Chains A and B, each alone.
Chain A
Amino acid sequence: MLKDLFFRLRSVFRRETVESEMEEELRFHSERQLEKYRNTGMSREEAQRRVRMDFGGLEQVKEECRDARGVSLLETLAQDLRYGWRTLLKSPGFAAAALFTLALGIGANTAIFSVVYGVLLQPLPFRDAARLVLLHETTPKVGDVSVSYPNFQDWRAQSHSFSEMAAVSNVAFNMTGTSQPENIGGLAVSPNFLSMAGVRPVIGRGFTPDEEKAGTAPVLLLSYALWQSHFGGDRRVIGQTIRLDSRTVTIVGVLPRDFRWVETCDVIEPMGVWATNNGTVAERGDRGDLTVVGRLAAGVRMEQARAEMDGIAARLARAYPQANDQCGVKLQPLRETFSGDARPAMAVLLAAAIFVLLVACANVANLFLMRGAVRAKEMALRIAIGASGGRIVRQILTESFLVALLGGLAGLGLAMAGIPAIARLIPADTLAGASIGMNGAVLLFSASLVVLSVLMFGLAPALHAARGNVHADLKEGGKTTSGGGRNRWRGLLATSEIALALILLVGAGLMMKSLYRLLAVDSGFRPERVLKMEMSLRTAQYDKDPVVIGFWQQALDRVRALPGVESAAVGTAIPLTDDHSRTDITMEGTALSKPSDYPHPDTHIVSPGYEKTLGIRLLRGRGFTDADRENAPRVALVNAIVAQRLFPGADPVGKRFSFGRNRAPQWLTIVGVLADTKMYGLANPARLEVYVPFRQMAASEMVLLVKSGIEPAALVSAIRAVVVSIDKEQPIFGIATMQEVVNASVSTRRLTLILLALFSGLALVLASIGIYGVISYSVAQRAREIGIRMALGAQRGDVLRLVLAQGGKISVAGIAIGSAASAGLTWLMAKLLYSVSAVDPATFAAVAFVLAVIAMVASYIPARRALRVDPLVALRNE
């Protein structure tokens, strides 16, 4: 092996020596042969002729010797690269067109892949992350729900499929003592979470097993980002304290820089500290915001773990029918829970980018074929003087590779410029802390695209050149007769470009129609000039309900008095954000036996003016008033769905229900019915919802909604001042206009649409260039035929029809194939569509029409050139 390499290398690096030795060896042979023939009495000329005949082509023998020495791979590569580089420089127009086209194709793919990699593929920063599984509970009524802590403890005790399990709960705090009060997010975890995930604090310690139980001293780990932004990365931070919800907590460590979680994570506290502050932990029926992460034991497969957990859940449901009725367990690879719902959009975008690359490759293949026609003579000459077919294929492939490589580099540049712009468009919850950018995996992907492109656009032209007809191509007039096969190829490529462009356009069209329909949906509320800001009353003083209610009332009174404010309200929920608390209710006069039979509506706590501020229509009865206070009769509003489902055919106003399941009912009287609002996203149907007045059920976490006569953002600082005047340590967060909330709720669809539109536009341009190229080339080739036709009396219209028919054939075939392929492919994006069928006939028809028109224009321009053919000139050229 090594010796072989050595031999090859000598052939390459001592090229001159080896070449001259070969020359000398062959000369020696001919001379001896010549002598031999002379000795038999032949004339000198006759002997020389015989020697030449014996030898066949001298150059060919040499070439075969070089091949035999294994020179080919390395030496010819260098030679071909030099040669290819020179030929590219000689035809800068061709080179620029090919490079630019490929740069666009590879650039688009690289940019999209960097996003796909960052969001979906990049391994999570945990040890052996592929074996980490996220578990949560499910109920038939709601779907996925959080896990109750006692259930988690039973899972951990009873399961054998997992080597370890840890509870992870989302938590939030008001952090004070820094420059401005802030609301931060974090996690409360079982102490073994960090070691199970292989997360080692950069400084300080992790958690100890004792820190699992309530009553443990308050400690936490800082995220790297918070450490940097609030403590300047000071290593002496260990042992310092911060104020969270007016409690003093000691910093014991700092998380690694790359640590991330599905939700924002500024701090991590041990489960024991969380349990100390959350009395409801011990209740099996209480499902807060807790999920479970487990590490699959060695050799255990996901399905086995799933089967075991199903069994455990069924046992727990039987043992605790009140809390666990019909509760199941759902297991999911942890990786999927990070931006898992972005998967369909990402898949569609990656597929679209690959289609763009295919179109680009078809275009470049066309360029190569066109140039192949020009170079047919050069190739024929090379074959005639001894180059083998393989050698020609290699040389053209090397040139293709050079073009692809340069195009790939340019594409990389384009991608680097485009990635930040795309990354900015990705919603933060989709990103889940992932960083989008260039890295080894992305580079590897781009490199393989370069190789793939070479195969896609280089192989056909190369094989074609090698098959070239030496005799025809060497003849003076050969150029005009040898293009048959090439033209077929070119027609085929243009057809596939049209087909691909159609697929992309259909995708973009469907997406556009979906987004249009989605934004036209009756959301049930009016977002115009409404500002939202969130507050969470978390400090000790708000332990008592009257204080909480007093804060909201005071804030409302003062905000309503601000100039420019039309109305203001607070509520626990706002439309389009799926963040709700749900409880079973009991309807007066109904007796239900099974816990799972009780209605399970979302409960929104709102102030008077809520429906007015958000522009939600009141369908019956009245809204809340200031009279609906603590000691007044308890009242509620319901939405239209509740009225339809729970009071079919009856007027719900005046009917009564209570929260919970029948234990000591505290009846609430329904006083009004509100129109359904899109609380969970524009595409999601409304659910059962009940509203209760904020003075009759205190909520410490609320959204303040302000409708103004002026630009709402102008009010932010005035409202802030109001809040500070009531409690100077109260942070405000989540400030946005409702219009921004609406936009954010469709941001993934919007991003998908923008990129799809961009890609299909690119494909359209490339495809029209493709068809233009084919037609104009064929017009040039058929100049003589056209000349004869015109000389024989063909009219302009006849000639135009002749040329346009060719373009028409290509576009009709392309559109037919593309439509069929689209119909087969668009179901892939069904998840992204809204109230549009994946084979929406209107979209298909519109796209086909647009494409047909553009294809016609692209063929008409070169067709007009055919009309200018002068029969005399065309015929004389022959």
Chain B
Amino acid sequence: MKERIELPQGTLDLLILRTLALEPQHGWGISERVQQMSSDVLRIQQGSLYPALHRLERRGWIKAHWGTSDNNRRAKYYELTKAGRLQLATERASWQKLTAAVAQVLDPA
């Protein structure tokens, strides 16, 4: 098993939004997808995933509806709203700016 990294503050929302940009997904699916896409480096704590989902829903960036999961059970699916898409773009831009800047500091050209 690879070494896992603690999620930096504030990145959870970005990861959730990014994941939901691909397709509507339920909570478990989101955490699986993040783990998969990060080659098992990032793992979302369930304890923080659900409060984050409810918070994003309240902000109006994602909305929820009940659907049927691939194994035929009722599950709560989340999808991005228009506002959510905008938010994702903003957060992605500022994240890239941040990482680029941090990288520059660590390895000056």
Partners in one complex: yes
Chain A residues within an 8 Å CB radius of B76: 21, 24-25, 28
Chain A residues within an 8 Å CB radius of B52: 68
Residue of chain B at shortest CB distance from A57: B47
Chain B residues within an 8 Å CB radius of A54: 45-46
Docked Cα-Cα span, A68 to B52, in Å, equals 7
Docked Cα-Cα span, A33 to B31, in Å, equals 10
Within 8 A of A (CB), among B12-51: 26-28, 45-47, 50-51
Within 8 A of B (CB), among A52-75: 54-57, 60-61, 64-65, 67-70
Q: Is the CB of A56 within 8 A of B47?
A: yes
Docked Cα-Cα span, A70 to B56, in Å, equals 11
Docked Cα-Cα span, A8 to B60, in Å, equals 12
Q: Is the CB of A55 within 8 A of B46?
A: yes
Q: Let me know if B54 is at the binding interface, CB within 8 A.
A: yes
Docked Cα-Cα span, A68 to B27, in Å, equals 15
Residue of chain B at shortest CB distance from A66: B54
**A side interface size, CB within 8 A:** 27
Chain B residues within an 8 Å CB radius of A33: 28, 46
Chain B residues within an 8 Å CB radius of A65: 50-51, 54
Q: Is the CB of B73 within 8 A of A28?
A: yes
B8 to chain A, nearest CB (A): 19
A28 to chain B, nearest CB (A): 5
Q: Let me know if A86 is at the binding interface, CB within 8 A.
A: no
Chain A residues within an 8 Å CB radius of B53: 68
Q: Is the CB of B58 within 8 A of A61?
A: no
Chain B residues within an 8 Å CB radius of A68: 51-55, 58
Residue of chain A at shortest CB distance from B76: A25
Docked Cα-Cα span, A18 to B19, in Å, equals 24
Chain A residues within an 8 Å CB radius of B46: 29, 33, 54-56, 61
The proximity string for B residues 51-82 relative to A, scoring 1 for CB distances below 8 Å and 0 otherwise, is 11111011010000000010101111000000
Q: Let me know if A7 is at the binding interface, CB within 8 A.
A: yes
Within 8 A of B (CB), among A438-481: none
Tell me whether A28 and B50 are in contact in the complex, defined as CB-CB below 8 angstroms, given that A3-B60, A68-B58, A70-B58 are known contacts.
Answer: no
A410 to chain B, nearest CB (A): 40
Q: Is the CB of B51 within 8 A of A29?
A: no
Docked Cα-Cα span, A24 to B73, in Å, equals 11
Chain A residues within an 8 Å CB radius of B75: 25, 28
Chain B residues within an 8 Å CB radius of A55: 46-47
Q: Let me know if A385 is at the binding interface, CB within 8 A.
A: no
B28 partner, pick from A8, A29, A64, A67, beta carbons under 8 A:
A29
A226 to chain B, nearest CB (A): 65
Q: Is the CB of A25 within 8 A of B51?
A: no
Residue of chain B at shortest CB distance from A32: B28
Docked Cα-Cα span, A70 to B51, in Å, equals 11
Docked Cα-Cα span, A25 to B57, in Å, equals 14
Within 8 A of B (CB), among A547-563: none
Candidate in B47, B50, B54, B57 with the most chain A CB atoms within 10 angstroms: B54
Q: Let me know if A303 is at the binding interface, CB within 8 A.
A: no
Chain A residues within an 8 Å CB radius of B50: 22, 25-26, 29, 61, 64-65
Total A-B pairs, Cβ < 8 A: 66
Q: Is the CB of B26 within 8 A of A61?
A: no
Q: Let me know if A16 is at the binding interface, CB within 8 A.
A: no
Q: Is the CB of B47 within 8 A of A64?
A: yes
Chain A residues within an 8 Å CB radius of B58: 4, 7-8, 68-70
Chain A residues within an 8 Å CB radius of B28: 28-29, 32-33
Within 8 A of B (CB), among A24-51: 24-26, 28-29, 31-33, 35
Tell me whether A25 and B47 are in contact in the complex, defined as CB-CB below 8 angstroms, given that A4-B58, A68-B52 are known contacts.
Answer: no
Chain B residues within an 8 Å CB radius of A22: 50
B51 partner, pick from A7, A21, A67, beta carbons under 8 A:
A67
Tell me whether A61 and B47 are in contact in the complex, defined as CB-CB below 8 angstroms, given that A21-B76, A29-B27 are known contacts.
Answer: yes
Within 8 A of B (CB), among A702-744: none
Chain B residues within an 8 Å CB radius of A60: 47
Q: Is the CB of A25 within 8 A of B60?
A: no
B68 to chain A, nearest CB (A): 11
Docked Cα-Cα span, A656 to B69, in Å, equals 120
Residue of chain A at shortest CB distance from B49: A29
Residue of chain B at shortest CB distance from A4: B58
B101 to chain A, nearest CB (A): 30
Docked Cα-Cα span, A26 to B57, in Å, equals 16
Within 8 A of B (CB), among A472-502: none
Residue of chain B at shortest CB distance from A31: B73
Tell me whether A61 and B51 are in contact in the complex, defined as CB-CB below 8 angstroms, given that A24-B74, A25-B27, A32-B28 are known contacts.
Answer: yes
Candidate in A29, A31, A64 with the most chain B CB atoms within 10 angstroms: A29
Candidate in A32, A35, A69 with the most chain B CB atoms within 10 angstroms: A32
Candidate in B47, B52, B60, B69 with the most chain A CB atoms within 10 angstroms: B47
Docked Cα-Cα span, A7 to B46, in Å, equals 23
Docked Cα-Cα span, A35 to B53, in Å, equals 23
Chain B residues within an 8 Å CB radius of A7: 57-58
Tell me whether A28 and B47 are in contact in the complex, defined as CB-CB below 8 angstroms, given that A68-B52, A68-B55 are known contacts.
Answer: no
Chain B residues within an 8 Å CB radius of A24: 74, 76
A20 to chain B, nearest CB (A): 12
Residue of chain B at shortest CB distance from A28: B75
Chain B residues within an 8 Å CB radius of A21: 76
Docked Cα-Cα span, A35 to B45, in Å, equals 18
Chain A residues within an 8 Å CB radius of B27: 25, 28-29
B32 to chain A, nearest CB (A): 8
Within 8 A of B (CB), among A1-23: 3-4, 7-8, 21-22
Docked Cα-Cα span, A54 to B31, in Å, equals 12
Docked Cα-Cα span, A54 to B44, in Å, equals 10
Q: Is the CB of B74 within 8 A of A28?
A: yes
A56 to chain B, nearest CB (A): 4
Q: Is the CB of A28 within 8 A of B51?
A: no
Docked Cα-Cα span, A689 to B47, in Å, equals 91
Chain A residues within an 8 Å CB radius of B69: 28, 32
Chain A residues within an 8 Å CB radius of B54: 65, 68-69
Chain A residues within an 8 Å CB radius of B26: 25, 28-29
Docked Cα-Cα span, A8 to B58, in Å, equals 8
Docked Cα-Cα span, A31 to B74, in Å, equals 12
B102 to chain A, nearest CB (A): 29
Residue of chain B at shortest CB distance from A11: B58
Docked Cα-Cα span, A4 to B59, in Å, equals 7
Chain B residues within an 8 Å CB radius of A8: 58
A740 to chain B, nearest CB (A): 71
A36 to chain B, nearest CB (A): 8
Chain B residues within an 8 Å CB radius of A29: 26-28, 46, 50
Q: Add 10 more A-B contacts to A25-B75, A33-B46, A64-B47 (CB < 8 A).
A: A25-B26, A25-B50, A28-B74, A28-B75, A29-B26, A31-B73, A32-B28, A32-B69, A64-B50, A69-B54
Give 18 A-B contacts (CB < 8 Å), ordered by A residue.
Answer: A7-B57, A26-B50, A28-B26, A28-B27, A28-B69, A29-B26, A29-B46, A32-B69, A54-B46, A56-B47, A60-B47, A61-B46, A61-B50, A64-B47, A64-B51, A68-B51, A68-B52, A69-B55
Shortest beta-carbon contacts, A-B, top 3: A68-B54, A68-B55, A64-B51
